Structure formats: C-alpha cells, structure tokens
Amino acid sequence: GAGVSQSPSNKVTEKGKDVELRCDPISGHTALYWYRQSLGQGLEFLIYFQGNSAPDKSGLPSDRFSAERTGGSVSTLTIQRTQQEDSAVYLCASSLGQGGRRETQYFGPGTRLLVL
Amino acid sequence: AQSVSQHNHHVILSEAASLELGCNYSYGGTVNLFWYVQYPGQHLQLLLKYFSGDPLVKGIKGFEAEFIKSKFSFNLRKPSVQWSDTAEYFCAVNPLNTGGFKTIFGAGTRLFVKA
C-alpha cells in the first residue's frame, strides 16, 4: 500500500513569507506527527494529532508555527513569517493510533525547506 | 526533561568490523524503544523495535539491539558491517505515559563503512 507522502519535496522561500507543507498519512492511520530535522541535529518533535483529541502542540518552537488536520487525514503545517533558522527538513509520520505498546511510526520522505 | 543520548555522532568502520552504537535515555517509566535508519537519499525507516518481552530484539539486515532496563540503554549491534550499512542511525523512545505517541529522538549517529 501507499506510504506517507509529503509535498512539496523541496521549497525555497524568502524570509518573511508564509509556507504550507502538506502530509498525507497512510490510510487508516489515526495518529499523525510532525518533526523537524535540522542539519546535524536529530529529529525535533513538533506536534502530533490523535483521532479527535486535541493535538499535542508542545513541540512547536514559536507561535509562527501551526498545524491542522482536516477530516482526520491530511495535515498541513504552516510557518508564518519564515526566518532563516526555519530552514530544515520537515518530516511527517503516521501510526495506527492504538496507543500503548503498538505504536510504530512510518515516515514520509520529508519536505526540505530553505529560507533565503 | 526527557532525553535520548547517542554516544557517537560519527563512526567510521571497515567492512566486516563489528558495530555497536550506544543509546541511553532518561525516563524512569515504561517505554517503547526504536532504532531508525536513514540511508543516503532515502527517508527514515524502522530498523527494529522493542515493546516488551525478550530484551534482545532482532531487526532487518542482521541488526539487533539489547534493552538493559537497569542501565536505561538500548544499544544497537551488528557483528559484521557491510558498505551498504553506511547511513544515519537514530535511537528513539516513546514514554508510555504519553500514550505511546510522543517520541523523543536522539541526535543520530552517522556511520560510514569503508569498502
């Protein structure tokens, strides 16, 4: 079956512009996650959605970052007024959403964002 | 704060050498543990996972990892590496008090295997 897909694969923008990154999770997965991978750094948790529960936004680095998930499926991560330090690879993952000991995350290919 | 430490940022080995990548986490409760791998130009994929039971888990491509609860460690091993194992390896922890959803990743270890 299809894996997690993300678009665009690459995005170049100018400082101060807004960007939207999209994630399509694996069909049937109710949990969706966003991470940021900066050069030389590990994966930094940003936010996750689980079913109809309120998302865990504890990893969002500033109020310029927001994410939504429509219809329990597709998610969009929005970065407003981009800064050069936002340049990174943004990874999306999804999992079944059963919780407890059954959660294995499957990752998409990422969106490489470059802010000039 | 919860954290995951990977001891080496870069490792260089010759083919057929043995590999051990260290991973320690700081969380006292029950956890799920993972190793992910990212090959050059590819996206992150699961190498192996520990949920419960036998603390020695086997993954793909001859990798294994051992969960030592008393040491809060989950080290990755492979007896004989190949050039194709050149990749970046990430250790990750799900503390189960978050429902097993929130995952904390280590900074990664870049492995380069010389042919």
Residues 6+ away with beta carbon under 8 Å from A90: A6, A21, A34, A35, A36, A37, A46, A77, A110, A111, A113
What confidence tens digit (pLDDT) does each residue in A43-70 have? 899 999 988 888 888 899 999 999 999 8
**Which pLDDT score is estimated for B48?**
95
| Closest chain A C-alpha to B64 CA, distance in angstroms | 17
Chain A residues lying within 8 Å of B25, measured CB to CB: none
Q: Given an 8 Å threshold on Cβ–Cβ distance, is B101 in contact with A41? A: no
What confidence tens digit (pLDDT) does each residue in A83-105 have? 999 999 999 999 988 766 677 88
Which residue in B32, B21, B30, B65 sits closest to B47, CA to CA?
Answer: B65
Of the ranges A14-23, B37-46, B47-56, the best mean pLDDT one: A14-23
Average pLDDT of chain B?
Answer: 92
What confidence tens digit (pLDDT) does each residue in B1-39 have? 678 999 889 999 999 999 999 999 998 888 889 999 999
Chain B residues lying within 8 Å of A110, measured CB to CB: 43
Closest residue to B44, CB basis, from A45, A56, A91 = A91
**Which pLDDT score is estimated for A103?**
76
* pLDDT, average across residues A22-38: 93
- Amino acid symbol at B103: T
Say which residue the tokens 């996972």 belong to: B49
Inform me whether the C-beta atom of residue A95 falls under 8 Å from chain B C-beta atoms. yes
Rounded Cα gap, residues B44 and B88, in angstroms: 9
Closest residue to A42, CB basis, from B32, B90, B101 = B90
In this predicted structure, the answer to whether residue B73 has a pLDDT above a threshold of 80 is yes
**Which pLDDT score is estimated for A71?**
80
Two tokens, residue A50 = 């689980």
Chain A residues lying within 8 Å of B100, measured CB to CB: 99-103
**Which pLDDT score is estimated for A85?**
94
Q: Given an 8 Å threshold on Cβ–Cβ distance, is B49 in contact with A43? A: no
| Closest chain A C-alpha to B21 CA, distance in angstroms | 15
**Which pLDDT score is estimated for B1?**
66
Cβ pair A77, A21 in contact under 8 A: yes
What confidence tens digit (pLDDT) does each residue in B74-115 have? 999 999 999 999 999 999 998 877 665 788 899 999 999 998
What confidence tens digit (pLDDT) does each residue in A75-85 have? 999 999 999 99
Q: Given an 8 Å threshold on Cβ–Cβ distance, is B99 in contact with A42? A: no
Rounded Cα gap, residues B89 and A7, in angstroms: 24
Rounded Cα gap, residues B6 and B76, in angstroms: 10
Which residue in A33, A39, A81, A28 sits closest to A59, CA to CA?
Answer: A33
In this predicted structure, the answer to whether residue A22 has a pLDDT above a threshold of 80 is yes
In this predicted structure, the answer to whether residue A1 has a pLDDT above a threshold of 60 is no
